[in-house]
Amino acid sequence: MKSEILYQDATALAELIRRREISPVEVVQAHLDRIEAVNPKVNAIVTVADDAVGAAKAAERAVLQGHELGPLHGVPFTVKDSIDTAGVLTQRGSLIFKGRIPDTDATSVARMKKAGAILLAKTNLPEFSYSFESDNLLSGRSNNPWDLQRTPGGSSGGESAAIAARMSPLGLGTDLGNSVRGPAAQTGIAALKATHGRVPMTGIWPRAPRRFWHVGPMARSIRDLALAFSQLSGPDGLDAFATSTVQFDAGIGHSPHRQLRVGWMVEPGFGPVDSEVAATVRAAADALKSLSCFVEPVRIPALERDFANDVFTRLQVMETKQEFAAATAGRSQDELYKAVKKMLALPDVSMKDYMDAEQAVERLRDGYAEYFAKYDALITHVLPVPAQKHGADPFTVDGQTVDATSLRGATVPLNLTGLPGISMRFGTSNAGLPINVQIVGSWQAESTILHLATMLESVSPVRHLHPEV
């Protein structure tokens, strides 16, 4: 029964608990046993919540006593260690924050708990959530469960690895440039970066550049993303960006009143793309066409005029650098890891370049608005290559030598513009590594992309694959 529990998604676990076919204690204990067995190899979990079993026992009593149960009642979840958890270490991958224990939960964590979910553990990340690998001086390097010599990504790489390795069915990560969608692609799970402001960032650090940061669910099924998002979204009265009161409808099982129009592209505008990745995007587009969507290749001129990756770099250096400088003031360089040191050493961006980048963001938003006046969704790649080996930077993509920032070429436009996107697996490389596609929607249109993702998932040739770690 334990192994069966580990292969269930969160939605199934919640239903089994409601029907009293399994208990929350069994579910939590199965995942704790899995962490004990697998985490020494993967190093995704950095702290186990001391009260996880106690919370599971309380959840079991509520079931037996016939109490009203939340939609995630008794289901364990994990949380990236940049997200505050009351009474549980939240150390942000840094020696500077070693031993830090928050007094309150982040809004996202509080909402998961309100839905009945049980905090199981915290997951690894790069120092200050700033790198394409989840590696730091405090808790070490996380490994990809598909190949331990490769990275599960960053900055939510510990979270993606934990879910892929079945140490957790569901989790929370944060995304500045690709940090839930990229790690999901590197480990073959699913992740949602919703429209900016749909899920409050209250209780999460760092926040700069605040207008580009997101928090979102990571899971092994699209229906889990939809369920978690339905509990996470909405204003909290604390995050001024979280003001949308648009009602959420997952769209799963819904039959659109008209044919959905979908464009797909892998270039130009995103940088070079591996041929296997490009073929997976085409396969996803063909699958949607076979499911009666109108699908055609497209171009978005705004992406060709303003290279979003460069635009993002010019903006975030000036804002992130100040945030990091304030956090590290008076501390020894020996306490800092390489990515943070590199950020602090970068030269300032001129005011002219900074303002030009701000104008470019407006042009990108206008370009996407023009696109979504004609189409319901856009299918792209998530990453230009499957999971890279640890420390690979630079590396070669389609014959071109690029640095690690190229990994966010197709994802960072969504951070700059605030558009929602889903990362989901739809292919496998010749080396046996997962390949994900990205489904992009217009602002507030999470229901549309979740519906399309559900359609793709129903015909996915890789839906039931898991790493044998």
Report yes or no on 226 lying in a domain: yes
The three state secondary structure string of 198-256 is CCCCCCECCCCCHHHCEEEEEECCHHHHHHHHHHHCCCCCCCCCCCCCCCCCCCCCCCC
Q: What is the pLDDT of residues 13-72, one digit of tens each?
A: 999 999 999 999 999 999 999 999 999 999 999 999 999 999 999 999 999 999 999 999
Q: Is the pLDDT of residue 133 over 90?
A: yes
d(CA 143, CA 184): 13
Q: What CATH number does residue 207 fall under?
A: 3.90.1300.10
- Per the residue annotation, which of 131, 155, 168, 221 is the catalytic one? 155
Please say whether the dihedral angle defined by the alpha carbons of residues 234, 235, 240 and 244, taken in this order, is positive or negative.
positive
Q: What is the mean pLDDT of residues 353-373?
A: 98
pLDDT in tens, 147-196: 999 999 999 999 999 999 999 999 999 999 999 999 999 999 999 999 99
Distance between CA 308 and CA 222 in Å, rounded? 28
Tokens for 309? 């990756």
Distances (CA, A) of 52 to 73, 194, 293, 361: 13, 28, 44, 43
Picking from 153, 17, 27, the residue whose alpha carbon sits closest to that of residue 80 is 153
CA–CA distances in Å: residue 73 to residues 17, 320, 389:
8, 38, 38
Number of domains in the chain: 1
Contacts of 19 (CB under 8 A, 6+ apart): none
- What predicted TM-score, i.e. pTM, was given to this entire model? 0.97
- Tell whether 318 is covered by a domain: no
C-beta separation of 72 from 102 below 8 A? no
pLDDT value at position 249?
Answer: 56
pLDDT tens digits for range 259-290: 999 999 999 999 999 999 999 999 999 999 99
Active-site residue (options: 179, 230, 244, 460): 179
The answer to whether residues 451 and 377 touch, using CB atoms and an 8 Å cutoff, is no
Asked if residue 330 belongs to a domain, the reply is: no
Beta bridge partners of 427: 435
Residue 352 lies in a domain: no
pLDDT, residue 244, reads 82
Q: Is 312 inside any structural domain?
A: no
Which pLDDT score, from 0 to 100, does residue 109 have? 99
In the annotation, is 155 catalytic?
yes
* Tens-place pLDDT, residues 289-299: 999 999 999 99
User: What are the two backbone dihedrals, phi and then psi, of residue 213, each rounded to the nearest 5 degrees?
Assistant: -80, 145
pLDDT level of residue 246 (50, 70, 90 thresholds): confident
Residue 340 in any domain: the answer is no
Asked if residue 331 is part of any domain, the answer here is: no
What is the identity of the amino acid at 84? D
The pLDDT tens digits for 209-222 are 999 999 999 999 99
Give me the residues paired with residue 77 across strands. Answer: 119
Report the distance separating Cα 435 and Cα 381, nearest Å: 8
Residue 279: CB atoms within 10 A of its CB come to 15
Catalytic residue among 80, 122, 193, 321: 80
Alpha helices in 292-436 (DSSP H): 301-305, 308-328, 338-345, 351-372, 412-417
Domain carrying residue 434: 2-306+359-458
pLDDT band at 245 (very low <50, low <70, confident <90, very high): confident
Tokens of 115: 């839905």
Enumerate residues 6+ apart whose C-beta is below 8 A from 81: 46, 47, 89, 90, 91, 92, 93, 122, 123, 124, 125, 139, 158
Task: Compute the average pLDDT of residues 358-380.
Answer: 97
pLDDT band at 250 (very low <50, low <70, confident <90, very high): very low
Cis peptide before 209 (omega within 30 of 0): yes
Q: Is residue 316 part of a domain?
A: no
DSSP three-state, residue 387: coil
For residue 276, give the amino acid letter: E
